[in-house]
Structure 1
Amino acid sequence: MDVQTHSGNLIANTATMAYRNLLKTVHNPDRFMDVIIQPVLFMVMFGYLFGGAIAGGVQDYLPTIVPGILAQAMLSAASGSGSQIREDLDAGIFDRFKSLPMAHIAPLAGQLFADSLRLIVAAIASLSTGYLMGWRPAAGLGWVVVSALLAIFTGWALSWVFVLLGLLAKSASAVQSFSLMTMLVLTFVSNAFVPLKSLTTPLRVLADLNPVTYVITAVRQILATGGWTPEALVVLAAGVGIVIVFAPLAVWAYDRN
């Protein structure tokens, strides 16, 4: 009974903390923009500005840009985890949580659960915008969902990395600056918006080593073939590996703070 009670309290406390973090996202324009406004804006802007120059037209460019914007949205949503948890630490919110009769790990678990919901919203915003612009994947709706779930899981796995960064960093502004720089470099030095063959040799080497390139390639192949590909298995395994490595480190840093 004690174990059941403890588990019930942990779930209830985690749900409460997740709800709190979601409210912060809704009432904070910057975080709300990362989840919805940014993927919509980038999809429209990149599609109509560069579609003709890169692919000869918007419709021909959408199969390239939709997975790219999806990956960028996942990375952007995941990167907000670190700054959120650092802001709470700097504001002393976690000190208040310690005095409450709640599960010790609930604030961290609530943050990661809220992140998964933010990632789902960002994925829906990205894919819906592409659909409204005329994107029609060769695979059916089921495989669109599969590709979105793969991207969401990858983003959630990366959330652990950014949470660890937020727990170890000195300030929220430092986390935000590093997260923004990381997001821009990883998405633009990849195959998110342009074919790899169009890059110079040094950039091509960096893009080939970029993990975001593998995620985008896996999503594109699923959407094009309507099947599970070896690249998708590699991305899934890499996501599991990231969680195995960084989740214990994040919990350690959380206990340390």
Structure 2
Amino acid sequence: MTTMALRNTGTLAWRTLVQIKHNPFELIDFSVQPIMFLLLFTYVFGGAMAGSPAEYLTFALPGIVVQNLIFATMNTGIGLNTDITKGVFDRLRSLPIARSAPLAGRILADVIKQAWAVALLLVIGIVLGFRIETGPAATLGAIGLLLVFAVALSWVSVLVAMLVSTPEKVQIFGFVLFFPLTMASGAFVDPATMPGWLQAFAEVNPTTVVADAVRGLLSGGPVAGPVTWSLAWAGGLLVVFAPLAVRAFRRRI
């Protein structure tokens, strides 16, 4: 990207972030809702799943972080679709800015929001009793891996947003796509407890792979394999969906 494109991207990303001041309810998706999920899974299911909430928190926190990140990528598509249907992109197109800036700015702003949500969940998890058994470098590596996966997955949301007519449809299609991806995984339970056919799917599910990588980076355990497969999934999503999303974006605007 050129210097102008980078500057335009930063300006439009800031525009998206500043909107939170005028719509504080948007913080619910990135703050209150993740905390509610964390408390619910830890204290309602923890005893049944692992014998105690504290034991389950160690296993489940990385999975909850990944689940929240996956659902949060829908906000990218919803925001883009909203701007298009309200005519914001028509106004932006008349300005002397890089054509890629509106799309890149939205993705950058949402990645910043997701970084906030990841950090918030880790802090709340530590308050509840979660302990990071590795070091600062591994912790930053886990956060970086999560954000890389978020950027890759956000292109799926962008593609959906360009193919449907309203923000509500983006939310519906995103939920239908992402709900099975998060629940039929090893994010919350060990896949070994599942039926054989479901276990096979859960073990290759990117939600499981990323959750396992984050567990290894935060709590110890296997790291190389899960991280490698997580990056492979991120690269695959990027290679497949980014060109399709960009093409659909150009046609839509």
TM class by shorter chain equals over 0.9
Q: Which residue of 1 aligns with 2:81?
A: 86
Output aligned runs, 1:1-257, within 5 Å: 7-29=2-24, 31-225=26-220, 228-257=223-252
Contact kept, 8 Å, 1:147 with 1:223, in 2: the verdict is: yes
- CA-based RMSD of the aligned residues comes to 1.9
Q: TM-score, normalised by structure 2?
A: 0.92
Aligned partners of 1:9 and 1:36: how far apart in 2? 33
Q: Shift of the alpha carbon at 1:153?
A: 0.9
Judged with a 3 Å threshold, the aligned counterparts in structure 2 of structure 1 residues 30 and 196 are, in CA distance, closer, same or farther, namely: farther
Q: Paired residues, what number?
A: 252
Aligned partners of 1:237 and 1:56: how far apart in 2? 34
Give the ranges of 4+ consecutive aligned residues of structure 1 lying more than 6 Å apart after TM superposition.
Answer: none
Contact kept, 8 Å, 1:34 with 1:76, in 2: the verdict is: no
Judged with a 3 Å threshold, the aligned counterparts in structure 2 of structure 1 residues 227 and 141 are, in CA distance, closer, same or farther, namely: farther
Contact kept, 8 Å, 1:34 with 1:77, in 2: the verdict is: yes
What per-residue deviation string (whole Å, max 9, x for no partner) do you get for residues 161-195 of structure 1?
Answer: 11111112122111111212333222211111122
Q: Shift of the alpha carbon at 1:200?
A: 3.1
| Residue aligned with 2:2, SS | helix
Q: Shift of the alpha carbon at 1:228?
A: 4.1
Structure 2 residues without counterparts, runs of 5 or longer: none
Aligned partners of 2:106 and 2:97: how far apart in 1? 15
Q: Which residue of 2 aligns with 1:3?
A: none
Amino acid at match of 2:101: A
Q: Shift of the alpha carbon at 1:29?
A: 4.8
What per-residue deviation string (whole Å, max 9, x for no partner) do you get for residues 110-145 of structure 1?
Answer: 011112101201111111111110100221232122
Aligned partners of 2:186 and 2:132: how far apart in 1? 18
What per-residue deviation string (whole Å, max 9, x for no partner) do you get for residues 21-67 of structure 1?
Answer: 11234543553212111211111111111111111112111121111
Contact kept, 8 Å, 2:146 with 2:210, in 1: the verdict is: yes
Identity of aligned residues (%): 37
Aligned partners of 2:25 and 2:193: how far apart in 1? 33
Structure 1 residues without counterparts, runs of 5 or longer: 1-5
Contact kept, 8 Å, 2:81 with 2:167, in 1: the verdict is: yes
